[in-house]
Structure formats: C-alpha cells, structure tokens
Amino acid sequence: MYAAEDKPMKLEELIEDAQRVLRVCNACRYCEGFCSMFPAMARRLEFTENDVHYLGNLCHNCGSCLYSCQFAPPHEFQVNVPRLMAKVRGETYRQYAWPSALGKLYNNNGVAVSLISAFSIALLFWVAGALTNPERFFAAHSVEQGSFYALMPHNLMAGMFGAVFLFAMFSLFMGFIRFWPYMGEELADFFKKPLAEGLHDAFTLKNLGGGVEQEGCTYPNEQKSLVRRVFHHFTFYGFMLCLASTSTATVYHYLLDYPAPYPYLSLPKIFGTLGGIGLLIGPAGLLYLKTKRDPQLAATDQTGMDAGLLVLLFMISLTGLGLMIWRETGAMGTWLAIHLGFVLALFLTMPYGKFVHGMYRLMALVRWHVERRRPVPGVAPE
C-alpha cells in the first residue's frame, strides 16, 4: 500500500488542507457520479470553513474517489478525500458536542467509551446489590415472579434510563439546532420535502452505492462491494427493531397495564430478538471489515471511536439475548446487570461518540436536497 502517513493536524491546518484539496477536486470533477458530495462541491467556487464541515459530513467514506484519483498519494498533490473528510467529521462532532466541554471526550473516544462502559456496569451491579442481597441476586426467578423486576423495580429502571436518554436526546438536539444554521440554512427549511429525500438516502445508504448503478463502494479495499452497506443495514435496522421493541413494551406497560417479561411470540420479543440478531451480525461484520480495510481510507485516530460504538452495540445485543435465554435461572441477575450496564453506557455516550454520525450525515443530506434545487451561477463552457 502507498498509504501516505496519517499525520496529526491542528484544526487550522486541517481546514486549510481541506480547502486546498477541494480546489483540486473542483477543478477536476471526474468523481461527480460517485456520491452527493461532489455535485455539492461543484456548486461552489470557493470553500468556507462551514462548507468544509457540510461536505465532510456528506462524504460517506466509501473510497471510490480515492482509487480513481490521479492526484492521490504518492502524487505531490496528496489528494485523499475519504481520510480528510473523516478528520473533518471528527472536528464537527467535537465542536458541536453539548455541553461543549464534553467535546473533549472525542480526543480519545475509544478509551472514554470503554471507561464509561466499565463504570456503567459497575453502577448497575452496585444498584442491584444495594436493592437486593446475594441470595436473591443469584436465585432463579420465574417469569410469573416478575423475573427482572424481582431484582430491580420497573419504575427505578424506567426512571434512570429515561432520564439519561432524555438528556442524550436533548444534547443531540443542541447539536442539531446549532449545526443546521451553521451550514447557512433556515430551521424551517429542514422540515420540508428534502427531509424525506434525505431520510430516503440515509435509509437506503444510496451514497455507499458507488454511483448510479449501485454496484457498491470500494470498501474495505479497491474491489467494489456491497458488503459494508449490508452490515450497516443489519446494524441500523437491528437498532431500530430494538427501539421498536422497547417502545411497544413501554406501551404495553403503561397503556395496557401488561408488564414484562413477555412471551417469545409477543411483539416486544419478536422485535427485540430480530433486532438483537441484527445487532450481532451488523457490528461484528463492520468490525471485521475494519480489520481488513485499506489504511489509506481511515483517519487512524478514529479507530477507537468507530470500534467503541460497534462493540457497545454488539455487547448490548449479546447480553440481551443471553438475558432472554437465561432469564429464569440463577444467572439472570448477572446478565441483567451487565446488559443494563452496556445500555446505560450507550445512552451516556450517544452524544459523545460515533452515534452522532447519523444525525450530522442526515443533516448534510437534507441540506444537499435543499440546495440542489437552487440555481447555480453559470460558468463559461469549460
């Protein structure tokens, strides 16, 4: 491999280099058909820092442009858009974290996510320990006895997780409310037809298709493949099914007065099991691809952030499925504490980890669909 060294860059250096590279790309434009980022770039004659963040989040790191680039390293122009844009996204996440002091968690995100996970699991054991005694904790509780709630009252669980979750959502919302105007758009324009188009692109991962023919992107290596998109779909839809599982369970609990645990063929269980399987296959596949990926495509200091979220999702799913299988045995307490510990860690790190990529990318996609309707100033036939 001819991977140019991935040097650490100061913020100003990063923005300047992105502006330089975008000038090269804009004078060339051969990659226009690969994704939405290049047509968005071609609408501009110069690039402000805001544009750099917008285009950075529109890039899906598919790699097609790097392998096609006549100016890629070792060429002296050193054009490597996928890696550069990954670095820019890292900056977006850091700068738009709320509260901003916690943006520092991106400096060493893998370590941060690991420590928060360890802390969360320990906390859950401590809570379970404080509420029960060893005998009860390690005893088998049947479904009829309320299983989990024999160890941890429902309201405590719901209260604790609900509060953390609401905080995470609020924190993400603060990112949204600041980043959208930063890109130069009116808030009201977000909630129009382009939102549906942006969601379509996000739900289909159209931009990982490598162009009109959707043959796939060049990841983890130069050969076109749809494998990354497939694993991401497993992950994303797995996550959504788990969310559906929790939501239906909440409705059952509060509106239908029908508390957990639920039988295997109930909606929460079906959603949860399918979602859980998705969250095993997807993250495992994406982690595996990461070990195979061409190092040129990656910003090396982001491996921890990427892996952090994937490992978290995988562990939540693994322990959730374990909990389902062994819920009537003496091991249930242990499974429960570990599972809830990982879930808590996910909620806590949602606004300070890789999870935010979905939000910023969706915003960039919506912005693209907003601006693509606007006329471009004409240039002389080139």
Partner 1 sequence: MLDTNKTWDLLVVGGGNAALCAALMAREAGCSVILLEGAPKPYRGGNSRHTRNLRCMHEEPQDILLETYPEEEYWQDLLKVTGGLTNEKLARMMLKHTSSCRPWMVKHGVRFQPPLGGTLHLSRTNAFFLGGGKALVNAYYDSAERLGVSIHYEAKVTDIEIEGDTFKSATFTHGGATHQVRAKAVVVACGGFQANLEWLEEAWGAAAKNFLVRGTPYNRGDILKVLLAKGAKQISDPLQGHCVAIDARSPKYDGGIITRVDAVSLGIVVNKNAQRFYDEGEDFWPKRYAIWGRLVAGQPDQIGYSIVDAKVMGKFMPPVYPPIRAKTLRELAQKLEIDPDALEKTVAEFNAAVRPGGTFDHTIQDDCATIELTPPKTHWAQKIDTAPFFGYPLRPGITFTYLGVTVDDKSRMILQDDKPCKNIFAAGEIMAGNVLGKGYLAGIGMSIGTVFGRIAGEEAAKHVRG
Secondary structure letter of residue 223 according to DSSP: S
Determine if 237 is a binding residue for partner 1 (CB under 8 A).
no
Question: If binding means CB under 8 A, how many residues of this protein chain bind partner 1?
Answer: 41
Omega within 30 of 0 (cis) for the link into 259: no
Omega within 30 of 0 (cis) for the link into 381: no
Nearer to partner 1 by C-beta: 26 or 95? 26
Nearer to partner 1 by C-beta: 211 or 283? 211
Determine if 214 is a binding residue for partner 1 (CB under 8 A).
no
Q: Considering only CA atoms, which of 312, 154, 341, 305 is closest in space to residue 239?
A: 312
Determine if 65 is a binding residue for partner 1 (CB under 8 A).
yes
| Amino acid found at 180 | W
Q: How many CA atoms lie within 13 A of 338 on its CB side?
A: 17
Q: How far is the CB of 380 from partner 1 (least distance, A)?
A: 4
Nearer to partner 1 by C-beta: 33 or 159? 33
Determine if 379 is a binding residue for partner 1 (CB under 8 A).
yes
Contacts of 99 (CB under 8 A, 6+ apart): 171
Residues 17-46 that bind partner 1 (CB under 8 A): 23-24, 26-34, 39, 42, 45-46
Q: How far is the CB of 291 from partner 1 (least distance, A)?
A: 23
Select from 71, 180, 190, 288 the one that contacts partner 1 (CB under 8 A): 71
Rounded distance between C-alpha atoms, residue 117 and residue 57, angstroms: 27
Helices then strands, each counted (H, E), the chain: 14, 0
Q: Considering only CA atoms, which of 254, 210, 244, 245 is closest in space to residue 323?
A: 245
Determine if 375 is a binding residue for partner 1 (CB under 8 A).
no
Rounded distance between C-alpha atoms, residue 311 and residue 141, angstroms: 29
Q: How far is the CB of 51 from partner 1 (least distance, A)?
A: 13
Structure-block tokens of residue 182: 């930063």
| Amino acid found at 12 | E
Stretch near partner 1 under the rule CB under 8 A, chosen from 60-68, 201-209, 251-259, 280-288: 60-68
Site string for partner 1, 333-372 (x = CB under 8 A): ----------------------------------------
Determine if 377 is a binding residue for partner 1 (CB under 8 A).
yes
List contacts with partner 1 (CB under 8 A).
2, 23-24, 26-34, 39, 42, 45-46, 64-65, 67-76, 211-213, 215, 222-223, 376-382
